[in-house]
Amino acid sequence: MFWSKPCSLALPKDSPLRIDEPDYVGIRRFILKMMMFYSKQSMSIRGANVIYKRIIAQVDKPAIYDVFNLEKTFKITYSLLVLHMWLVLRRLKEDGQEGVDLGQYVYEIYNHDVELRVSKAGVNLLLAKWMKELERIFYGNVVAYDAALLPEAKPNDLQIKLWRNVFSDDGTTTPDNTDLKTAQAMARYVRRELGSLSLTDKESIFSGNFSFTPLENKPL
């Protein structure tokens, strides 16, 4: 699985999944313009919200848990959320400062969502402590994934990092023979999504009109 070549993830113009900017005319457009609805910041915030919805759509679907034989716990869901945030933020950086700025809006939305997820998990009294720990995990994972893609990285570095961050629940640092296949498959999935996001045009990325590769509801 995940041996196919990367391809653009842009949604077709006629896709029912698209969320396009409303094309108001006349007095309504004039009023909205006066209210800064069409300002760069407002459009970026709307785009960031759609982008985050695409991330959540992939992370919250049962398919990704079935494919990689994962239990849907807070820890694993959070690990997958961080992984897909990294995929998107890395792609946004390819478009320079404009992409970095948009990525900051996405990150702010992500932070708010994580706070809600932590509260829903029943740890309200420790919210500040949890958020600080999750922030540490987020940046630690991002640094680890970036390092695994450096030219000097070993071929299996990415699968090892994915194993530690997503799969391992007992402190083991490398998968055994039974779990190696699954970690390798996720590494192929990640590399394919990275390539596909790079092939996706800027307009589709910035507007959120893209979709991660659909996953079949069956294990490897």
Specify the amino acid at residue 137: I
Task: Please report whether residue 75 resides in a domain.
Answer: yes
* Rounded Cα distance, 62 and 71, in Å: 10
pLDDT tens digits for range 112-139: 999 998 888 775 556 677 788 999 999 9
Q: Tokens 């600080």 correspond to what residue?
A: 132
Q: Which domain holds residue 181?
A: 40-207
69 and 182 Cβ atoms separated by less than 8 Å: yes
Task: Please report whether residue 177 resides in a domain.
Answer: yes
pLDDT tens digits for range 141-193: 999 999 999 999 999 999 999 999 999 876 677 777 778 899 999 999 999 99
**How many domains, in total, are found in the chain?**
1
Task: Please report whether residue 92 resides in a domain.
Answer: yes
77 and 70 Cβ atoms separated by less than 8 Å: no
The contacts of residue 30 (CB under 8 Å, 6+ apart) are none
CA dihedral (142, 148, 152, 157) positive or negative: positive
